[in-house]
Structure 1
Amino acid sequence: MNKIICPVPLNQRPLNEFNSIRNSWIISWPFLERIIFYRKLTFSWLIITPVCLTISYGSDYLKNNLFELIFISLTASLAFPILLLIRQWLSWVYIYKRLNSENIEYEESGWYDGQTWEKPIDWRAKDLLIAQYQIKPVLNHLEVIIVLLISVIISSILFILSGMN
């Protein structure tokens, strides 16, 4: 069996990067069971809600309108889970592109000495399988949730604006 000599440092190999971020704290959430993933997102939303309530309470208008105070605070606090989801999405897009690529771009000692190494066929096949069957569904799921939450925020803003007139 041929032993492939790879010049790419271990921590810059796409498969190792995939395993690394799959074991990271926030970035790994989409790989959890859906109910646990949604529970973590809901918790991140609820944990920031008191901060949004406190900030919203600073408005003289909202102090006198409890429904609008709570509604605006709950809507504004959706920004935090959206930011978490975007961060997750960006990380998984990066790894997806690295796994899908025929070449591996890497640095030997710093940003100024970038190199490119062509993946062997067997590495490429394995990377493509992981990209298509593990990461692509995660990306699709994250995109749906992000669009849904942004739609909720836009709908809430339209609702608030229509109520003010």
Structure 2
Amino acid sequence: MRRQFIKVCPVPSEQQPINEYEELKTSWFFCLATSEKYLFLRNIIIIWSIGWLLSSPLAAASFPPDQSLLLFVVSSDLGAGVLLILILLQLTSGWYHIKGRLKKKTIFYEESGWYDGQTWIKPSEMVIRDRLIMSYQVNPIVNRLINTISLLSLVMFVHTMIWLYFSTA
């Protein structure tokens, strides 16, 4: 009979990387990044549309649609893009944090407050488990977010160049 040694983890449950990952995965905001490709794209379009509705009155005040429709549309797109980039950056920041906690061989935790933190070395089984989760669950999410931000940044750059060209002409 094989004997298993149970190592007592002194890290509070809510500060263990695996539990932080599970909590992040199920939170209403951060689960936006974990959804299927179609749902992720739909959510991005919804957020962009809300941003467009919020930024279009400001763009209309600067560039009346009946006088300069192209500048109005480009300005509204840029405003919507700013909102979307801020949301994507917040999502990326949260997932990067979890990725870092899963990747490390040690866990820094607070026992009762910020002034008495401790570091605990993970057992090798926990390191392997956490790195597998990081590689197969978290990395694809982070890569998706980075690719989305990159594409959105490119689109916003093109819109900025169009805006600069037509606003000075």
TM-score (norm 1): 0.95
Amino acid at match of 2:92: W
Distance in 2 (CA, whole Å) between partners of 1:155 and 1:125 is 43
Q: CA deviation at 1:58?
A: 2.1
Distance in 2 (CA, whole Å) between partners of 1:162 and 1:66 is 14
Q: What residue is the counterpart of 1:126 in the other structure?
A: 129
Tell me the SS of whatever aligns to 1:115. Answer: strand
CA contact (8 A) 2:107 2:122 kept: yes
Which of the numbers 77, 81, 88 marks the counterpart of 1:78?
81
Tell me the SS of whatever aligns to 1:104. Answer: strand
CA deviation map 1:72-119 (0-9, x unaligned): 102221111111111111111100010000000000111111110000
The yes-or-no answer on 1:110 pairing with 2:141 is no
Q: Which runs of 5+ in 2 are unaligned?
A: none
Q: CA deviation at 1:39?
A: 0.3
Q: What residue is the counterpart of 2:58 in the other structure?
A: 55
Name the count of aligned residue pairs: 163
CA contact (8 A) 2:109 2:118 kept: yes
The yes-or-no answer on 1:67 pairing with 2:77 is no
Q: What residue is the counterpart of 1:16 in the other structure?
A: 19
CA contact (8 A) 2:51 2:79 kept: no
Percent identical: 33
Q: Which runs of 5+ in 1 are unaligned?
A: none
Q: What residue is the counterpart of 1:101 in the other structure?
A: 104
CA deviation map 1:30-83 (0-9, x unaligned): 211110011001101101212101112222xx1131231122102221111111
Which of the numbers 3, 7, 10 marks the counterpart of 1:7?
10
Q: CA deviation at 1:158?
A: 0.7
Distance in 2 (CA, whole Å) between partners of 1:94 and 1:42 is 26
Distance in 1 (CA, whole Å) between partners of 2:115 and 2:72 is 51
Amino acid at match of 1:88: L
The yes-or-no answer on 1:91 pairing with 2:101 is no
Distance in 2 (CA, whole Å) between partners of 1:23 and 1:77 is 26
TM-score (norm 2): 0.92
Distance in 2 (CA, whole Å) between partners of 1:154 and 1:48 is 17
User: Post-superposition, which runs of at least 4 consecutive aligned residues in structure 1 deviate over 2 A?
Assistant: none
